[in-house]
């Protein structure tokens, strides 16, 4: 039996397995270090170039370079921002250098995978979900053993002792995650954020049947359920509400997807109205921070007050080049826990603009990919599920300071799921535009 398995592996082996290995390592967050991931992407690219013996034309290389400019700019502006002056940040220049290298190498690996005829996007997505689910299952079990189910509700405002002293934060705000080789105490926001990205696997159940593809159905079901249980059994109210809101939105996309994807007149009006109102609010808050013409409109509720105060802090202190509690004053800074605003502190206003451009470009590339690619519909939907769940949840409740014991930062772009999105950023695009080799 073992001989048959080995023969089957040999017959199905291709150099693209190097890519599956890379995606699995990142999804499991092995080593928890952008330097490791950057080096692995360089090795994987080298192997694919050597064994496939491809020659890429100048037009493609220019197209790829233009696409990664927002990501590279994000890395450069973060590297030069005041954010790195904080002694608690503890992020070395070397890590940012490899981050910038990765923002070129990983999208290029995504493109190489796309032109490889033996590369299967379905296998890649399954690999990601399986390894991501394995990682979150370990985190889930460690957290449940420590606190039990529904602990964020049961132990609200209760504290535990650390070496004879009362902990700084209550039990309901903490969880455990395997980061590299250590089980680390982190914020429950980071824990449930990863779980929400994982639970996007449930979208695959809408497009395949158990009879036609049992393996895929079981993988999407089991991995998606693990993600859902991580959200529901921790009972983090913000994420539970957001989780169901996202589930409803995805359900509407599934039901009316054919009308929404081509962007008909109604969907355009709705999308541009939401984007326009959000942008208007942001600009008004900035101008109000400069001219102080009114505050009442922004202080009507807790949510808008939080964002307004953050923008007002940026403008009033002229901290456009990034800042932290150390450089600005702990009493003046309260993070919003949203990349939409916190990215300004971490990457400066220019890095924030670069990140917004990246978000726009990846959505545009996805639309082109959806229309022109021959990939199966399930894979296309799961890709947008991962992208949207990461962007939307990080835009609402991502904690950039999740390490309570060390006080270190974890910017969104250092997170494993974001690195996977960067890979798919290179994988997607128009066939006729980028597949010449």
Q: What average pLDDT score do residues 186-202 get?
A: 87
Decide if pLDDT at 85 tops 60.
yes
Q: Identify the band that residue 410 occupies on the pLDDT scale cut at 50, 70 and 90.
A: confident
**Domain for residue 269, yes or no?**
no
User: Which region among 142-146, 149-153, 289-293, 372-376 has the lowest average model confidence (pLDDT)?
Assistant: 289-293
Q: Identify the band that residue 435 occupies on the pLDDT scale cut at 50, 70 and 90.
A: very low
Q: What is the pLDDT of residues 208-236, one digit of tens each?
A: 888 888 888 999 999 999 988 888 877 76
Asked whether 220 and 379 are in contact (CB, 8 A), the reply is no
Domain that holds residue 102: 13-260+319-434
**Domain for residue 271, yes or no?**
no
Q: Identify the band that residue 156 occupies on the pLDDT scale cut at 50, 70 and 90.
A: confident
Q: What average pLDDT score do residues 340-347 get?
A: 78
**Domain for residue 212, yes or no?**
yes
The DSSP bridge partners found for residue 179 are 182
Which pLDDT does position 369 carry in this prediction? 87
Q: Which of 7-11, 168-172, 247-251, 381-385 has the highest mean pLDDT?
A: 381-385
Decide if pLDDT at 133 tops 90.
yes
Decide if pLDDT at 262 tops 90.
no
Asked whether 376 and 122 are in contact (CB, 8 A), the reply is yes
**385: CB partners within 8 A, 6+ apart:** 200, 201, 203, 250
* 376 CA to centre of own chain: 23
The DSSP bridge partners found for residue 174 are 187
Q: What average pLDDT score do residues 377-383 get?
A: 88
Q: What average pLDDT score do residues 289-295 get?
A: 47
Radius of gyration, alpha carbons of the chain:
22
Q: Determine what percent of the chain is predicted with pLDDT higher than 90.
A: 14
Q: Identify the band that residue 79 occupies on the pLDDT scale cut at 50, 70 and 90.
A: confident
Q: What average pLDDT score do residues 372-397 get?
A: 84
Decide if pLDDT at 291 tops 50.
no
**Domain for residue 151, yes or no?**
yes
Decide if pLDDT at 157 tops 80.
no
Which pLDDT does position 94 carry in this prediction? 81
Which pLDDT does position 151 carry in this prediction? 76
Which pLDDT does position 289 carry in this prediction? 47
Decide if pLDDT at 287 tops 60.
no
Higher local confidence (pLDDT), 429 or 221: 221
Is the pTM higher than 0.85? The answer reads no
Please provide the average confidence, as pLDDT, over all residues in the chain.
76
Q: Identify the band that residue 200 occupies on the pLDDT scale cut at 50, 70 and 90.
A: confident
User: Which region among 110-124, 144-158, 319-333, 342-356 has the lowest average model confidence (pLDDT)?
Assistant: 319-333
User: Which region among 77-91, 145-159, 423-437 has the lowest average model confidence (pLDDT)?
Assistant: 423-437
Which pLDDT does position 412 carry in this prediction? 87
**Domain for residue 343, yes or no?**
yes
Decide if pLDDT at 313 tops 80.
no
Q: What average pLDDT score do residues 424-434 get?
A: 70
Which pLDDT does position 87 carry in this prediction? 61
Decide if pLDDT at 366 tops 50.
yes
**Domain for residue 30, yes or no?**
yes
Q: Identify the band that residue 152 occupies on the pLDDT scale cut at 50, 70 and 90.
A: confident
Q: How many domains does the chain have?
A: 1
**Domain for residue 301, yes or no?**
no
Q: Cα dist. 217→122, 352, 402 in Å?
A: 12, 39, 34
Q: What is the pLDDT of residues 32-46, one digit of tens each?
A: 888 889 999 999 988
User: Which region among 94-108, 240-254, 259-273, 309-323 has the lowest average model confidence (pLDDT)?
Assistant: 259-273
**Domain for residue 419, yes or no?**
yes
Decide if pLDDT at 337 tops 80.
no
User: Which region among 206-220, 247-261, 310-324, 366-380 has the lowest average model confidence (pLDDT)?
Assistant: 247-261
Closest CA to 178 of 146, 141, 135: 135
Q: Identify the band that residue 384 occupies on the pLDDT scale cut at 50, 70 and 90.
A: confident
């Amino acid at each position: 039996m073992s001989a048959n398995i080995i023969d089957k592996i040999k017959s199905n082996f291709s150099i693209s397995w190097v890519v599956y290995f890379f995606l699995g390592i990142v999804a499991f967050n092995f080593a928890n270090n952008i330097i490791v991931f950057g080096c692995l992407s360089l090795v994987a690219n080298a192997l694919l170039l050597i064994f496939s013996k491809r020659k890429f034309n100048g037009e493609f290389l220019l197209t790829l370079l233009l696409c990664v400019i927002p990501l590279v700019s994000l890395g450069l502006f973060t590297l030069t921002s005041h954010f790195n002056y904080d002694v608690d940040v503890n992020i070395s220049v070397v890590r940012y250098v490899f981050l910038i290298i990765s923002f070129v190498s990983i999208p290029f690996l995504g493109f190489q995978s796309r032109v490889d005829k033996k590369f299967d996007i379905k296998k890649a997505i399954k690999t990601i979900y399986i390894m991501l689910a394995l990682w979150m299952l370990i985190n889930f079990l460690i957290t449940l053993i420590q606190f039990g189910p529904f602990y964020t509700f049961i132990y609200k405002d209760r504290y535990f002792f650390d070496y004879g002293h009362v902990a700084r934060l209550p039990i309901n705000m903490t969880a455990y995650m395997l980061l590299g080789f250590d089980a680390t105490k982190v914020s429950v926001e980071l824990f449930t954020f990863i779980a929400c990205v994982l639970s996007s696997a449930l979208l695959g159940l809408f497009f395949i049947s158990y009879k036609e593809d049992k393996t895929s159905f079981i993988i999407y079901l089991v991995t998606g359920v693990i993600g859902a249980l991580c959200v529901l059994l921790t009972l983090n109210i913000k994420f539970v509400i957001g989780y169901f809101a996202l589930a409803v939105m995805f359900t509407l996309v599934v039901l009316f997807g054919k009308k929404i994807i081509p962007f008909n007149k109604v969907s355009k009006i709705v999308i541009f109205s939401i984007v326009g109102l959000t942008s208007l609010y942001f600009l008004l808050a900035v101008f109000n921070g400069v001219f102080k013409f009114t505050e009442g409109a922004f202080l009507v509720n807790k949510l808008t007050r939080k964002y307004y105060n953050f923008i007002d802090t940026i403008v009033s202190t002229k901290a456009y080049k990034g800042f932290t509690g150390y450089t600005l004053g702990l009493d003046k800074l309260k993070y919003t826990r949203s990349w939409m605003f916190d990215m300004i502190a971490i990457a400066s206003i220019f890095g924030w603009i670069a990140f917004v451009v990246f978000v726009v470009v990846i959505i545009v590339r996805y639309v082109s990919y959806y229309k022109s690619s021959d990939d199966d519909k399930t894979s296309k939907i799961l890709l947008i599920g991962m992208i949207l769940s990461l962007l939307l949840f990080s835009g609402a409740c991502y904690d950039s300071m999740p390490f309570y014991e060390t006080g270190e930062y974890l910017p969104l772009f250092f997170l494993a799921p974001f690195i996977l999105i960067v890979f798919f950023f290179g994988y997607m695009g128009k066939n006729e535009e980028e597949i010449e080799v």
